[in-house]
Structures are given as structure tokens and as C-alpha cells.
Amino acid sequence: MTNKVVVLGSLNVDTTLLINQMPKPGETISAISKTNSAGGKGANQAVAAARSGAVTSFIGQVGDDSNGQFMIDALKNDDINTDHVAVDHENGTGSAVILLDSDGQNSIMVYGGANQAMQPATISNSEALIADADILIAQFETPQAVTYEAFKLAKKHNVTTILNPAPASKIIDGLLEVTDLVVPNETESTTLTGLEVDDIETMNTNAEKFAEMGVHHLIITVGARGAYYHTPDDSGFVPAFKVKAKDTTAAGDTFIGAFSAKVKKDLSNMQDALVYAQQASSITVRRLGALPSIPTEKEIKEEYK
């Protein structure tokens, strides 16, 4: 089974500053090192899907600048179709500054730029691409109105839609009704439902709330603990693999991209795809950076024979 995955999302050039500990308000600290790399939730998820064997295409927007070409080249390096990446002549390519401490925890500041300037009307140009896909993924680093238009086209053509509501914000009316699977982390789930995520019972309650909101398949990722899943027929928890994390950047994106490469279009093999996704993200957190840390299918299979 080879999935055709389309990712609608963000393209950011990441600047990572390695520091000993996070600065306190008003404090000036020295960085140990500085690196620049391709990133953005959309790019990370697309690369993770491609490296896990999916035929992957991207819908997005970059600025008319060197960073934009850098991001397009980064996608092409993983054989991702970039024909639907537009160039914005008024806004710069998205960027992010990542503070990474010695425990592997990060704080991220994002400039949306061309990502946030995307317009819903442009999605009609990608209808044929979406119609030919098995899976369409989107996040919240591009406008929700654009995602809504794309997901409506996906449902018109019987394409499975996966929404990663990150960073969490109020969801526009109608979007969840054209979403087949929603994948927040525990903080995002609480923000969107107003309900705490502490244990299986509260995760079940969150699933009920999301069903009321219109989406009936849910995965809640809870970092080093693992991932909860809920479908109309089943629910459960898949533990994470225990590893020593160096950098958690792109771990959640790796999870979603790898999952999309392995899940069936009808989401019937949710648990098996979740195990694979956990394996992928367990490798990502042991490496530095966003795109450079995402493993290939070969690496995952060698690690978890």
C-alpha cells in the first residue's frame, strides 16, 4: 500500500539557538550555537510522509526571496511535488526562532509571512491534485479558511482529511464537519474542548466533545507517554517508546506525517499506524533540528525489527 498524501501547510526557515536554560523575563543569555534549517509544521509533516514511503505533494506559499527558494529545494530533495507552492511577492517566507535547552525542551516563536497570506480562492487551482489523493493533511500555521476550502474539495472527492490543530486556536464553523481525523496534543485538546486531559477517562470525555463538534476520529498525542485514539468503534492508548530526547522539535510533525503514510484511507488500521508513527517520532527526538531529524522508513524498520 502506497498512500498519496497532500499536505496543505506552512513553510518556515528555522533558526535554532542552543542554550543551557530558558531565559527569565528581562534576562540576557549567551547561545551555545546557532543553526538554520528548513522547517514549518507543513514541511515537517510532508517530509515525514515522503520518507515513510508516501507519494507526497505540497500546497503552500513562500515569499519571493532566497528563503522561499531554499524551502522549495528542501521539499524537492525528498521528491515532494512542489507544483502547488505559490510565490507571494508582498510577504516574506515564513520563519521561526527556536530556543532549545540542554534538556531537549524548546520554545518557538513563529513569523507567518507568506503562510498566513494564503487566500481560500487559490485552493480551486489544486482541486485535481486533492482529488487524486488518499490523504489531505492541514495544520493551523496557514489560515483556517484556506483549509476549510481544501477539506470541502477533499470530501467532494472522497479523500480522507486529517487536521492537526496546532497552534491551537478557535476552530471556524464547519471545519470539523469536513474533518475525518483530528490530531491535537493534550494542551491543544484542552484549549479546543475546554476539558482537561489527564487520564483515559478525561481523554474519552474529550473524544465525546469532539464528536459533538463534528469529528468522530481522534488522536491525542501526550509526548513521552504516547498517544490516545478514539474511533466510533474502538479506543485505546499506544505507549511511546522510551528514549533519551535531545530535541523535541518536529516530533509531533514526524508522528503525523509517518502516520499518514501508513494509515488506510478508511482509518481501519489506526492502531498499527500509530505504533509506526511512535517509532518514527522516537528517532526524531534523538536528533537535532527539524527536517534533518526525520527518519526514513528504512531507518525505522532497522531500529524496530
pLDDT tens per residue, range 239-254: 999 898 888 878 999 9
pLDDT tens per residue, range 70-105: 999 999 999 999 999 999 999 999 998 989 998 888
- The answer to whether 249 is annotated as binding is yes
pLDDT of residue 161: 98
What domains are defined for the chain? 4-10+39-93+114-303 (3.40.1190.20)
Give the single-character DSSP code of 291: G
Mean pLDDT of the chain: 95
Would the pLDDT of 235 be above 90? yes
Beta strands in the chain (DSSP E): 4-8, 12-18, 33-39, 55-63, 81-88, 94-100, 106-111, 135-139, 160-164, 181-182, 217-221, 226-230, 235-239
Would the pLDDT of 37 be above 80? yes
Alpha carbon distance 14, 290 (integer Å): 8
Question: What is the layout of strands, in order, in the sheet containing 106-111?
Answer: 33-39, 12-18, 94-100, 106-111
Over range 9-24, report the average pLDDT: 94
- The answer to whether 258 is annotated as binding is no
pLDDT of residue 250: 87
Catalytic site positions: 253
- The answer to whether 92 is annotated as binding is no
pLDDT of residue 138: 98
What is the model's pTM?
A: 0.93
pLDDT of residue 189: 96
Rounded to whole angstroms, what are the CA distances from 73 to 92, 246, 254? 17, 27, 19
pLDDT of residue 244: 87
pLDDT tens per residue, range 121-164: 999 999 999 999 999 999 999 999 999 999 999 999 999 999 99
The torsion angles phi and psi of 176, rounded to 5 degrees, stand at: -65, -25
Beta strands in 135-175 (DSSP E): 135-139, 160-164
The amino acid at 272: D
pLDDT of residue 245: 87
pLDDT of residue 290: 79
- The answer to whether 14 is annotated as binding is yes
Alpha carbon distance 99, 24 (integer Å): 13
Paired with 219 in beta bridges are 229
pLDDT of residue 68: 97
Over range 195-215, report the average pLDDT: 95
